[in-house]
A and B are shown apart, each in its own frame.
Chain A
Amino acid sequence: MSETAKSIVISAKNLYKTYQSSQSEPVIALQDVNLDVYAGEFISLIGPSGCGKSTLLRLIADLTKASSGELLVNGKTPYEARLRREYGMAFQSATLYEWRNVSQNVQLPLEVMGYPKKQRIQRAQEMLDLVELGAFGNHYPWQLSGGMQQRVAIARALAFEPSLLLMDEPFGALDEFTRERMNMELLRIWERTGITVIFVTHSISEAVFLSSRVVVMSPRPGRITKVVENNVPYPRVFETRETPAFFERVTEVRELLRDAHEA
């Protein structure tokens, strides 16, 4: 797989984001970010609080605007990409609508985008099958566990077949075992659909387990410290966490983070 054969999905050049605050100093959330993401990659953004990882994700999602620099998603501005519904999002809390059942929740983006009813229902069922919750379409969110709700959120994010999936610490609220299982699930879905994933996390082992490249960031001002190439082979299984290669990568990321913190 040569890099020139793959297309660039996200291209960030000299990206800056500053916040005007009521106090004297404006806050620099992102400073001179340069990053290229290729189609089909699984990228993790990791770093301590204030490093700008969530900000970068939100810039890509067009939930906030860059102060300066260039950011292209699929060759378009984030605004255009959003209006063309080219990405799906999942947050730390599942944010399902409690007044809709599971199937209706997955259908939500399809409704907004004007899909006809029959197609919506069918698509929702497909997605629920994909996340292995096919029998729960008529259940309500409160009847589901945290992990199951997150799976529904992922199903919802994928419902309209975006080429890009943006995830902001989606498994942060789950316990460790569920988290590891969800990581496996996510990898399985990624392999089946071949979409590009940008994944923000606090957990070093999660980042190394999931992604092909790990973007390590540091705060004050938020910037990219280093992009770590992850040579741990795919497909990755439970045992992968116990291999030396895994351990090496985790150590590398950990030391990068520690240096950034002490800087």
Chain B
Amino acid sequence: MSIVNAVAHPPIDREFPAPLRMVIGITLAVFAGLIALFLGITFFRLDDSSLLLTESTPYKLGVWVTEQAERPDSRAHLAVLARAWASTQGQDMPTLAQTTRFGQSIVTVSAMLMALGAGVGMVGVWLRANWVRPLFLGVLLGFITLLFIVPTVEGEMSLVAVMLGIVCSVGVLAASEAGVTRLVAFFITIAVLLLVWEGLKLSAQSVNYAIRLPQSAWQVTAYPTLDDALIALKSGEVMAVFAERNELRDLMPAFPDTQDGLTYIQPTQQEQTFIFPIEPSLTGRLAIALRENDAPQMSVPSQLVGGQVGAVSASFALTRYLSTPREVVLVSLHILNDLNLPHLQTIASAFLQPARRNGEFLLIRILGEAATYTWSAAALGFGFGAFLGLVLGVIFAHSRLLERALLPYVVASQTVPILAIAPMIVIGLGASLTSVAVIAVYITFFPVAINTLRGLLSPSPLSIELLESYATSQWGILWKLRFPSAMPYIFSALKVSATASVVGAIIGELPSGISDGLGRAILNFSSDYSPVSTPKLWATIIVSAFVGVVFFTLVSLVERVVLRHYVRSGERDG
């Protein structure tokens, strides 16, 4: 009777009419399949003469594996595997063709599988099947992986094709009748972010976009020689003279002492108004000669604009600095160049390339070891600090005297900026894993102590009285009531501390005494600004982010298990 009634009433409105969704879904699935097919065939037909293949991640990896496999004593895991495989083929070592072909075929096969999946998915969309969603999630993941494999080559559309493939897969998932689950939404957001990254770079290539505000120009008098210019400076004809630093230094060797009432300054900081840089900037090659009395008031070139300045005719100072129009740069897309924002594939490739040129180990392995070091320090310190904090919290909860006496110090300890003194602590305690761990202990113990205290004192007096009426001991009350009540508080502190411990560990690794760890790796790879180092820097940072997120997620999972029977106070019933 009830079912009849229910069916008699129309269901809830949908925003999108169902047939339209299906048409969109099928069309996009077809496109995704065709793109995957196109990519598979393209990759299959590539040979060693095409950059698209030789710059791709698996090819470069294959090259390296071959080189490593040629050395019998190589400790690289992949090289050992390769040699083992080669011996099954009756060879000592694999040839370049074999290793690179291997990578190439994997890509091709995967692309074909994706094409097949898309084809099957198209049928599934038409049948409104449940398995369309996991199937296309797989296709989406396949395209995302390709994003990290296919290099950007001038004139090749493969990367754009991959991006289109991602768009199509996302479209199929979003248009799915079953709606978008959390998992799907998560991956769609990741896909969108990756697309934005590469999309920005794509647009930056075609649009060299910069907003610059012109500033007033220099008023320059040119002199035939430097001596003439300096005489003019002394007599007050000009406010300052721009010249080669070396020449000025030879003339006025006792810098910063003056010579003949003249001195020179060399501003090293980038000029800017507010936060925007002014270009061109004064290079280290140039210096500014001033009258001795003027020197204290003039410290940056911008203070000289508007007055008359002098330079030697046809000198570097005149032709390359003073004659170039001054501009304030508001926006410049140089942020998106390959050094500042490498292609995703470049970063992925950096992971699977040796950390040092001709190095024995891949960057991923080096970073793995560094990450293990950092994580061990952080986890060690975290565990210890959490234990200390718990104990302290329990002590404070049971002794008001101790709480009154010591709590202010515990609070005050947090005002010490531990991260600022972290390098000094590590130097002071001797550079080792334990000294880095000490930082994590400090960071963790305070929030855990405070939250444990708050949590232990949170049960209502009524619930305590109930247990007391059963003649439960203080210890029993602690275990049965206070600790369980404190769990949510303790875990919220633990989650914050987990992240902070990783940060603390990384900062603690900055002093030069420590040779391992992610902090050191970051410093190493940031020391030079080159196409070789920058992707490695990004790779290191990604690994650091990964360590932080994983640690936090671990603590969250433990929290979920421990608290699964709790009713969270934020939830309302009914």
**Which residues of chain A have a CB within 8 Å of any CB of chain B?**
16, 18, 20, 25-26, 28, 31, 67-68, 221
* A20→B12 contact, CB < 8 A: yes
Contact with A along B109-150 (1 / 0, CB 8 A): 000000000000000000000000000000000000000000
* A26→B2 contact, CB < 8 A: yes
Report the nearest A residue to B12, measured CB to CB.
A20
Cβ of B417 < 8 Å from any Cβ of A? no
Bound state CA distance, A142 and B541, in angstroms? 50
* A68→B9 contact, CB < 8 A: yes
20 CB contacts below 8 A, A to B, read: A16-B5, A16-B9, A18-B5, A18-B6, A18-B9, A20-B11, A20-B12, A25-B2, A25-B3, A26-B2, A26-B3, A26-B6, A28-B2, A28-B5, A28-B6, A31-B5, A67-B9, A68-B8, A68-B9, A221-B2
Q: 9 nearest interchain CB pairs?
A: A26-B6, A67-B9, A68-B9, A18-B6, A28-B2, A18-B9, A28-B5, A16-B9, A221-B2
Bound state CA distance, A49 and B11, in angstroms? 26
Distance in Å from the Cβ of A15 to the closest Cβ of chain B? Answer: 12
Q: Which residues of A contact B3 (CB under 8 A)?
A: 25-26
Distance in Å from the Cβ of B14 to the closest Cβ of chain A? Answer: 13
Bound state CA distance, A68 and B2, in angstroms? 14
11 A-B pairs besides A20-B12, A68-B8, A68-B9 with CB distance below 8 A are: A18-B5, A18-B6, A20-B11, A25-B2, A26-B2, A26-B3, A28-B2, A28-B6, A31-B5, A67-B9, A221-B2
Q: Which residues of B contact A25 (CB under 8 A)?
A: 2-3
Bound state CA distance, A67 and B12, in angstroms? 9
Q: Which residues of B contact A68 (CB under 8 A)?
A: 8-9
Tell me if B's interface is mostly helix, strand, loop or mixed.
helix
A-B contact count (CB 8 A): 20
Bound state CA distance, A67 and B13, in angstroms? 12
Distance in Å from the Cβ of B495 to the closest Cβ of chain A? Answer: 29
Contact with A along B1-38 (1 / 0, CB 8 A): 01101101101100000000000000000000000000
Bound state CA distance, A18 and B3, in angstroms? 10
Q: Which residues of A contact B8 (CB under 8 A)?
A: 68
Bound state CA distance, A51 and B6, in angstroms? 17
Q: Which residues of A contact B2 (CB under 8 A)?
A: 25-26, 28, 221
Bound state CA distance, A67 and B10, in angstroms? 8
Bound state CA distance, A143 and B17, in angstroms? 53
Bound state CA distance, A25 and B4, in angstroms? 11
Bound state CA distance, A18 and B6, in angstroms? 7
Report the nearest A residue to B6, measured CB to CB.
A26
Bound state CA distance, A180 and B6, in angstroms? 41
Distance in Å from the Cβ of B8 to the closest Cβ of chain A? Answer: 8
Bound state CA distance, A25 and B6, in angstroms? 9
Bound state CA distance, A16 and B1, in angstroms? 14
Distance in Å from the Cβ of A195 to the closest Cβ of chain B? Answer: 28
Q: Which residues of A contact B9 (CB under 8 A)?
A: 16, 18, 67-68
Q: Which residues of A contact B11 (CB under 8 A)?
A: 20
Distance in Å from the Cβ of A257 to the closest Cβ of chain B? Answer: 21
Bound state CA distance, A25 and B2, in angstroms? 8
Bound state CA distance, A16 and B5, in angstroms? 9
Distance in Å from the Cβ of B3 to the closest Cβ of chain A? Answer: 7
Bound state CA distance, A41 and B12, in angstroms? 35
Q: Which residues of A contact B6 (CB under 8 A)?
A: 18, 26, 28
Bound state CA distance, A164 and B495, in angstroms? 51
Distance in Å from the Cβ of B181 to the closest Cβ of chain A? Answer: 14
Bound state CA distance, A18 and B2, in angstroms? 10
Q: Which residues of A contact B5 (CB under 8 A)?
A: 16, 18, 28, 31
Bound state CA distance, A155 and B101, in angstroms? 81
Distance in Å from the Cβ of A28 to the closest Cβ of chain B? Answer: 6
Distance in Å from the Cβ of A173 to the closest Cβ of chain B? Answer: 14
Q: Which residues of B contact A28 (CB under 8 A)?
A: 2, 5-6
Report the nearest A residue to B5, measured CB to CB.
A28
Distance in Å from the Cβ of B573 to the closest Cβ of chain A? Answer: 13
Q: Which residues of B contact A18 (CB under 8 A)?
A: 5-6, 9
Bound state CA distance, A68 and B7, in angstroms? 12
Distance in Å from the Cβ of B4 to the closest Cβ of chain A? Answer: 11
Distance in Å from the Cβ of A94 to the closest Cβ of chain B? Answer: 16
Distance in Å from the Cβ of A53 to the closest Cβ of chain B? Answer: 14
Distance in Å from the Cβ of A71 to the closest Cβ of chain B? Answer: 15
Distance in Å from the Cβ of A66 to the closest Cβ of chain B? Answer: 9
Report the nearest A residue to B1, measured CB to CB.
A221
